[in-house]
Structure 1
Amino acid sequence: MRTTRVVRRFAVTTGAALLALTGAAGSAAADDETPEKVTEAGTSFRTATALRIDQEATAEASTGDYLYWAFPVDAGQRATVHATVKLPEAAARHAASTWQVDVYDGLRRRQACRLGTPTKTAAQDAASVSLSCSLRTVRSWSEQWANDPLPGTYYLRLTVTDLKADDLGLPVRAEAKVTATDAGGAQAVDGSLGEPLVPGAGSDERRAAAVEPEDGWSGGWWSSRWLWTAAGGVLAALAGVGGYALTRGSGRPARVPQGM
């Protein structure tokens, strides 16, 4: 009976510890504050405007301009870019227009969209057009020959790709936002980069180079791997205690009568 009580007490204690661990991670994520809105966009990779995850951005531009924002994505994250273009009055336009978002990594390699609508045609009388692109999970390490997304600065580029010449220069209003989710420990790989892929520190790249996660590159201590590791340790300990209780037996050895 005493062994049973020990096993039960051990299970309750470790279960409470696991609940506290997951609760701490959840509260840390809930404490994050939404950053203020950005009201401009760059016109090239070098002048891309810094944008944090979940931060809203707007920009007044002319039809035909290239608009750039730079944002950080760390290992284990799945990022999705969202863009909406408020089009000019229908009476001022002469034909439909096709808009597109492209995403590039820190090496300026174009990244494929896993999901979303990166290209869309807006009718002449449409008031707006919305685009999106969900990237693959960012890996902490990759072979040099691979095109896997790696931690670092990413670039969102928004522009029109098909437009009648008479509509060039008409005013538009662009809105952009980047969201990200944690893919979890199941997507983690061994190995890591020496440094994230970010722009150089030259004077013409300081705006984009300033983009990094709130807690630094790979600075977050929490990962679902911690939970699974802790759970595995608890189960192993419980199995060991239970096995010991079963093999030990519940009774004391019989006393041998004296004189035999």
Structure 2
Amino acid sequence: MRFTRVLGAALLALGCAAGPAAADSSPSPSASDGGAGPTRAGTSFRTATEIEQDQRATASASAGDYLYWSFAADAEQRPTVRATVKLPDAHTAQTWQVDVYDGLRRRQACQYGAQTRTAAQGTASIDLTCVLRTVRAWSEPWADDPLPGTYYVRLTAIGLPAADLGLPVSTSVEVGAVNIGGGAAVDGSLAEPLVPGIAVTSERKDEDSSRKSAVLSSIEPDGGWSSGWWSSRWVWTGVGGILAALAGIGGYALTRGTGRPTRVPPGA
């Protein structure tokens, strides 16, 4: 009976711990749940337009332009970039590509997704997708792993003929992320996230001054940077310790016996 109670307590503890871990693997809300995003795009890394996760950004541009956006990704997240390009009515076949760079401007490979697509003549729009690898809290200096910090999205057409340069196009970009949880946790963290993001902004000075100053980017995840200090691995480690203790108690209860020792008569 006592061992049954011990086993029930162990199963209850395991069920309570499974709840947060299951929540970590759930996808982020869709873009329709968020507010309206920016309506412009930058033309370089330094002028990239900042967007939040689960927010749709739009921009009108010309074919041949390089369009840049930036977003923040934290440890244990797997970002997904989706881009849509609405093409003009009359155009030849066009090839569009979306690239993602980290805070050190290293191009990050897409784990899967249609990163480059060609639209045949008469196609109204084209959709691109890039699913990055899971962001790690720490990595070796020589590795090319995604790390917490700013990420840049670049959208452009490649190999355009001269006749198609300058045609008006409408673009939209959406960034989402799935929290992988403790399965992607590593033993280590960065001292600071990779946020070089230097954005040039205008400052209001005196009437006879129109200087500009460079300020650090303000983009960061909701709730700040975790830097890998917490993950569901802590929960599972604690649950493992509790289960080990309960197993020891249960084993002792089963093997100690229930009878009292027999007293030896004096002089026997």
* Of 65-74 and 176-185, the range deviating more from structure 2: 176-185
Tell me the TM-score normalised to structure 1 length.
0.85
CA contact (8 A) 1:25 1:222 kept: no
Count of aligned pairs: 252
Residue segments in structure 2 that go unaligned for 5+ positions in a row: 202-213
Q: Tell me, in whole angstroms, the C-alpha distance in 2 between the residues paired with 1:31 and 1:220.
A: 19
Q: Tell me, in whole angstroms, the C-alpha distance in 2 between the residues paired with 1:35 and 1:144.
A: 36
Deviation at 1:105, TM superposition (A): 0.4
Change (3 A) 1:30 1:197: closer
Deviations 1:60-80 (A, max 9, x none): 222122111101111111111
Deviation at 1:11, TM superposition (A): 4.3
Q: Which residue of 1 aligns with 2:98?
A: 101
Tell me the TM-score normalised to structure 2 length.
0.83
Q: Tell me, in whole angstroms, the C-alpha distance in 1 between the residues paired with 2:165 and 2:107.
A: 26
Deviations 1:43-73 (A, max 9, x none): 2111111112221111122212211110111
Deviations 1:133-163 (A, max 9, x none): 1111211112222222111000001011122
Among 125, 131, 148, which residue is 1:134 paired with?
131
Deviation at 1:119, TM superposition (A): 0.8
Among 133, 141, 144, which residue is 1:144 paired with?
141
1:115 maps onto 2:112 in alignment: yes
Name the structure where helix makes up a greater proportion of residues: 1
Q: Secondary structure of the residue that 2:155 maps to in structure 1?
A: strand
Name the structure where strand makes up a greater proportion of residues: 2
Q: Tell me, in whole angstroms, the C-alpha distance in 1 between the residues paired with 2:61 and 2:84.
A: 13
Q: Which residue of 1 aligns with 2:74?
A: 74
Identity %: 60
Deviation at 1:223, TM superposition (A): 2.3
1:164 maps onto 2:172 in alignment: no
Change (3 A) 1:65 1:221: same
Residue segments in structure 1 that go unaligned for 5+ positions in a row: none
Deviation at 1:84, TM superposition (A): 0.8
Change (3 A) 1:10 1:253: same
Deviation at 1:85, TM superposition (A): 0.4
Among 236, 239, 253, which residue is 2:247 paired with?
239
Q: Tell me, in whole angstroms, the C-alpha distance in 2 between the residues paired with 1:200 and 1:177.
A: 19
Residue identity opposite 2:196 in structure 1: P
Q: Secondary structure of the residue that 1:114 maps to in structure 2?
A: strand
Deviation at 1:257, TM superposition (A): 4.2
